[in-house]
Structure 1
């Protein structure tokens, strides 16, 4: 089996999709599924699915398929979803509020322990059971709680100084919704950049170039 560090990111990025679909099948009471059936549902080839899963060991049997509950659990373990890494969210604006209110951190491997902002109008508000704290208390809070990850929902102009503060506090993992490249300064940081504008432009391209679309 390949070493985990040698597995391509393209494979890793497909794992949450497998997990989400298998979880749905499990909730529907489906107990077994073949790679061919999975491929038809996910729009991937059966060979691709088998190759991806074989990177982490053999989970299926030829001619029998995969046990849905077992495979879902195994992929969840591979993703580390049971770790409950502590996370803080910086920026309680519309985006930050939406993420804190509607995202189930607990089922995705994290526990949101603190929300911070610098606006007086937001400090003291309660979002999903957490009180928005003054960003001036960040160091004291992090020294006490020792979070692993920070969610950054702040303007690009604020990220460099903020990432400096967080890095100095020992935080090396970021879910970054700004357009600032943290890895340019901190190469050892683990960063997942979320560019919503890029996704929207990609959708626009696909609509524009859809051969089935009739332009009026």
Structure 2
């Protein structure tokens, strides 16, 4: 399916993984066809929004039929680049880094973890899911020699920029940053910041607002 020529907004791009996740759930329930109205009901979006989002990539539905779930799931996987394989490293082998390494779904989706790195000599040489933890001093050479595409940062904020610089120097194409600090990278390197605390604070805001409204009632 051909994409439309205009640039797709980040708002639409950030909704694509949600489409992918819900469609995967439908496939597991052996649902083969779904209308935009039915999809809107389970996803919490309007049918119009769904059609507009998918039209950014050429549109996939048929009037009077709806969407073929398997085909749409497959097309969105291609749009997201999930039909490819990506080599990655995790920098920071503490609790967060190990949790990411232990998330087996990443490997099933084509993300191959080739190494982990840390500054702690007690961790160097250990293995997580058969992936060795290396000395941080060797990261640039390892990234370059193993054609690493994605660097995952799971270190304290004061070390984040230095790690990002090392990953960029090694030649990574993208960085997934879990450090509570917005690192800077060159324009030719893609970056996605994941601030866990911000998501938690959004939840506490909603809980607080609900509590205030209940007290008013």
TM superposition score normalised by structure 2: 0.92
Correspondence list, 1:119-134, <5 A: 119-134=120-135
How far residue 113 of structure 1 moved from its aligned partner, in angstroms, is: 1.0
Map 1:126-205 onto structure 2 (within 5 A). Answer: 126-183=127-184, 186-205=186-205
1:125-182 CA deviation, whole Å, 9 max, x = no partner?
2111211111122123122101011000001111122222111111231000112222
Q: Does 1:59 align with 2:60?
A: yes
Alpha-carbon distance, 1:215 to partner: 4.8
Instruction: Determine if contact 2:8/2:56 at 8 Å carries over to the other structure.
Output: yes
Matched residues in 2 for 1:154 and 1:64: separation? 49
Conserved? CA contact 1:84–1:106, under 8 Å:
no
Write the distance in 1 (CA, Å) between the matches of 2:5 and 2:125: 46
Kept in 1: contact 2:4–2:58 (CA 8 A)? no
Q: CA RMSD in A?
A: 1.9
Matches within 5 A, 1:21-170: 21-170=22-171
Please name the residue that 2:18 is paired with.
17
Of the three residues 5, 9, 24, the one matched with 1:3 is 5
Paired residue secondary structure (1:151): strand
Q: Aligned equivalents of 2:152 and 2:116: distance in 1?
A: 9
Distance in structure 2 (CA, Å) of the matches to 1:128 and 1:214: 47
* Distance of 1:26 and 1:211 partners within structure 2: 38
- Greater mean deviation of Cα atoms: 203-212 or 143-152: 203-212
Q: 1:17 to 1:107 in 2, by over 3 A?
A: farther
Q: How many angstroms apart in 1 are the aligned matches of 2:25 and 2:170?
A: 38
Distance 1:211 1:156 in 2: 33
CA contact (8 A) 2:115 2:131 kept: yes
Inter-partner Cα distance in structure 1 for 2:215 and 2:104 = 37
Q: How many residue pairs are counted as aligned between the two chains?
A: 214
What TM-score, normalized by structure 1, do the two folds share? Answer: 0.92
Deviation at 1:214, TM superposition (A): 3.7
